[in-house]
């Protein structure tokens, strides 16, 4: 349904940036998952 991106220190981003990003995925059933992504 949607994604939000954050830096490791919690600052919200409009798109992933180089380094460690936290991706918050919102599913259509209302559940939320978070993952850490390393962008080189």
> How many domains are there within the chain?
1
Would you state the structure tokens that stand for residue 40, as one six-digit string? 């080189």
**Measured between alpha carbons, how far apart are the two ends of the chain, in Å?**
26
Nearest 5°: phi and psi at 35? -140, 155
- Read off the DSSP letter of residue 40: -
Write out the residue range of the structural domain in which residue 23 sits: 2-39
pTM, two decimal places: 0.82
Residue 1 confidence class, pLDDT cut points 50, 70, 90: confident
The predicted-structure confidence for 2-39, as pLDDT tens digits, reads as follows: 999 999 999 999 999 999 999 999 999 999 999 999 99
| pLDDT at residue 33, as a whole number | 97
CA distance 37 to 9: 14
């Amino acid at each position: 349904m949607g994604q939000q991106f954050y830096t490791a220190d919690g600052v919200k981003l409009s798109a992933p940036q180089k380094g460690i990003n936290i991706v918050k995925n919102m599913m259509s059933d209302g559940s939320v998952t978070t993952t850490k992504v390393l962008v080189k």
